[in-house]
Structure 1
Amino acid sequence: MAFQNPSAPLRHASRVPAPTPPSGVVHVNSRHTSRYTVVGNHLAQHRGLTLVAIGLAVHIQSLPAGARIGIKCLTARFPEGEARIASALRELEAAGYLERTRERLPSGRVVTRTVSYNQPGAAPHRPAPRPADRAPRPRKEPRTRPAPQRERAPLPAPRRPDPVGARTAHRILAELRRDDPRLLLSEADVARLTPAVHAWLEREAPPDAVRRTLAADLPPGLRNPAALLAHRLTASLPPPLPASAPAPPRPDPLQTCDACERAFRAPHPGRCRDCRSTLMEAT
């Protein structure tokens, strides 16, 4: 029996080129020896899943056990928004690649347990039983309630339709990448954020000031520019300008008295007050 030396160098792949197909894709494959994930063609070529769902399933299968894959974590990692991420997770759950269950911890906090299957139809996951508490729990022990999650405030919207303002808002968002390449937005993100920028313009915010506010002081490692802009458009919305105060009444123009030729203020030419008084006393 031949003895295999584990320290011997690996045999190089054959350099004989494979026949090139007349059309279509040509594969150039290299052997992975570390940091790789095996994915079945039933997932990679699934006809019932969207590309977002397939890519998300591959990403989840490549993560180590215990990694967080909540919607907010995935939204911070990828450019897709929360709605597309949540829809992709529901697709994978319906296709059998994910299992999500709600579980209440002994502290009273409710958490979501997520199990990833690299092959749908495998035996369902059952959590391991917890060891029993050594001391009995008091009957009247107060249980803490889970802190309510803060709902995200809706994006601002204009009060009145204005095609010119909508076009200006669309142009501001589309041209942000000229200020910083990291602010490159998709067409869908521009359409979603345009009403919020329109609301700023409706409150008489100058377009240049809106652009500078959105593009200033970007955090390092920005991965989701659309989420950052949505937060700034909502949190920094300027108040409407107060109504202009009415102008003070203008004084009457100067007139020349017909009797004494003195100047006096009156809405129409005539006599001054003294001359009118003298005339009334004479009559």
Structure 2
Amino acid sequence: MAYANSSGAARPTHVHPQATPGYGKRSAPDQEPRRAGDFAHLPAREALIAAFVDRLPEGAAMDAKTLAANIPAYGQAACRTAIRRLSEAGHLRMVKEHRKGDGGSMHWVTRTYFSRTARGDAWWETFLRGDVVPEARHEPPARSEAYDALASLGRTDPRMTLSAADCRELEELATEWLTRGASPRDLARELTAGLPPVVHFARAMARTRLVDKMPPERVKQPVSAPLRILECTICRTPGRPEAIPGGVCGPCRGETPPEPDYAVAPAEVHDHAAEIRAALRARERSSR
């Protein structure tokens, strides 16, 4: 039960410092809602620090030095180890991003993406490419904005009151209006303006107007994926995701780097250098 009390103890008693603008904590997308026991699978220290980081605002500094200064129970070394283990458990990655600054110029910033929901290497690799990574949800589906706009027509003009079945039938057309840039207010205005004194079939009237007054398609602007490079959580060396599993590079995992693949064997290089030196000495003697 150490974890149950740890999140409360981890809360700062003062304002946590922010990182340099553009740096610091970023929340990973599409996380599960916060609930008790989110980090119960982690050791007590990592669970406490994860709960602390989870509640930090966007852009907060979360380097080992800052964490140690704000979590009295642990020093910098312990926080560095915890950050590594949170990375290996799939809760965070350090990412270098190419971003536009306030002056309009592009520059590199380092951000620490934190995910309350543990992610595997494949998920993080997909995220680095800029792809959307939808997660399965278990909540009941919410009503769409288009459905709500149709359901509210009766409040704008009682002659255009629609039933739930009417709203479901017309929802796809209304959604297309919103996709093309119309607002719910635009939709309500166009469906209720200039009505005859009596509307006998509101659904048919709404369908006709939704089709006949459909806004033009919006010109889609190309969206470029953000340029992101993964960094080792320990030494900050950049690399491809497959070279940094768990967010930790091979040398920091204790792996021996492979021997360099020389085009020429070292012994041949030494022999060739000796031949060159001998030739130079012979030339010097002959020129005397």
> What TM-score do the two structures reach when normalised by structure 2?
0.27
| TM-score using structure 1 length | 0.27
Bigger RCO (CA 8 Å, 6+ sep):
2
**Larger-gyration structure (1/2):** 1
